[in-house]
Copies of this chain bind each other. A is one copy, B any other.
C-alpha cells in the first residue's frame, strides 16, 4: 500500500510503501526497490520505463505493467493517475460526489481523511449554511476537500406556471389532508453572480471547487484560480468538455447517464444527449487534454478499473457513499436503496425542475404525460416537491421523496466512509 508519494522537479519520484522508501530517477534508471514484494509501488512517467527496470534490473519480483502516461503503477498491476492525485493532493484518484442534501461535513471529512477527496454539495445551502458547513469540514480535516456549486441560469418567475403546477399536485396534497403552498419560490441561488458566496470561498479557501450545470464567469474562475484553488466541472457531452477546457478549468468530471442526482447538462433547452458513462468517458479521455474523472455507475473496484481502462484519470462515486452512516440520507432512503427499488431509477424533471436520476416514485410516474402541465422550472418545482414530501413523510409516506441514485444503485454497500474509501482502493488495486 502506498503510504506517501511525492514528485520532485528533477524527475525523481519517491514513494513510501509499507516496507521501504523507493526512489527512482526517470532519466538514469537508478532504481532501488523495497524488499517486500507485496508492498512495492513505484512512480513511472512512462510504462516503458517499468519494462526497462524489469529487464535491466530484474526487480524483486514480477511487476505488473499497465498502460497510462504519467501514472503510478502499483505492485498489483493497477494504475493511478499521477497528474490527478498530484492536482488534488490526495492518496487516491477517488472523489466522493458532492450530493447536495446528502453529503455532510462529517462525510466529506471522513472521505478526505481516508485518502480520497471528500465533497460538500452547497447548491442547496444558504450563505450562512455554506459558511458553517465549510468551516465544520475544515475543523474536522486538514486534508483537501471539494466544494460544489450549481451554475444554472435562474428561472424567470412565472406565477401562472407555478399555479398550474401547484394545481397539478393538489390531489396529492389532498391525500394527506394538506393544501399546496400558496406560491413557489426559487429556493436555490446559483453561484454565478453570487459575490458573497465567491467571497466566502476565497476567504475559506477549500482546496477544490467544482461546478455543475455549467460554469461561472471567467472573472469568478480566474479569482478562484488565483487563490490557488483547483477547479473541476461536470461535462455531459464533448461540446461541454470543450467549453470547460477553454475556460481554464483543471479537471473534467465526465458524468454519464448512469449517474444519480442532477444531470449536469449546461443548457437543458438544447436537450440531453444522454451519453452513457462508457461512451462519454472514452470520448472525453481521447479528445481532451484535461484529466477526466469518470462518474456514473461506479460502485466498486472493477468499475474503477474499467473507468481507468477507458482513459479516465480517476473516478467520482456518489451512490456508493449514500449508505455511509456519515451521509444525511434518512432511513427510508437507505431502505429503498437496499430494496428491489434500487433497480428502478429514472431521470425526471418533475422533482426539481431539472433532469435528475433517482429511485422512481410517484412524482416520476406521471412523466412524460400530456395530462401534466409544464414544470415551473428549477428550483420552483423543487420547492413544490419538498412541500409535498414534507406533508407525506410526516405521515410516514416517502412516495414523493428525492432519493437520488445511479443506475448501479443495487450494488450499494453499507459501510463507513473510511471503510468505503479503503474498500474501493483495495479493490482497485491501489
Contact = CB atoms under 8 A, between A and B. Distances in A.
A258 B343 CA distance: 18
A140 interface: no
Contact of A306 (B54, B239, B299, B306): B306
A276 B273 contact: no
Contacts of A273: 343-344, 407
Interface of A: 54, 59, 62-67, 77, 237-239, 256-258, 273-280, 282-283, 286, 296-299, 302-303, 305-307, 309-311, 343-344, 347, 368, 370, 406-408, 410-411
Contact of A62 (B54, B344, B408): B54
Contact of A257 (B77, B276, B298, B343): B276
A427 to B, nearest CB: 10
Copies of this polypeptide in the complex: 2
Contacts of A237: 343
A279 B405 CA distance: 12
Nearest to A276: B276
B306 A309 contact: yes
Contacts of A368: 368
Contact of A299 (B59, B238, B280, B282): B282
Contacts of A408: 278-279, 282-283
A368 B302 CA distance: 37
Contacts of A347: 274
A298 B277 CA distance: 12
A278 B302 contact: no
Counting from the closest, the 3 A-B pairs by CB-CB distance are A276-B276, A279-B297, A279-B407
Contacts of A406: 279
Contacts of A296: 276, 278-279
Contacts of A305: 306, 309
B62 A276 contact: no
A65 to B, nearest CB: 6
Contact of A279 (B65, B258, B286): B258
Given A238-B343, A302-B311, A407 B275 contact: yes
A260 to B, nearest CB: 11
Contacts of A307: 278, 306
A411 B77 contact: no
Contact of A278 (B66, B238, B276): B276
Contact of A411 (B282, B298, B370): B282
Nearest to A343: B238
Contacts of A302: 67, 282, 309-311
Nearest to A50: B62
Contacts of A278: 256, 258, 276-278, 296-298, 303, 306-307, 408
A303 B62 CA distance: 26
A359 to B, nearest CB: 13
Contacts of A276: 256-258, 276-278, 296-297, 407
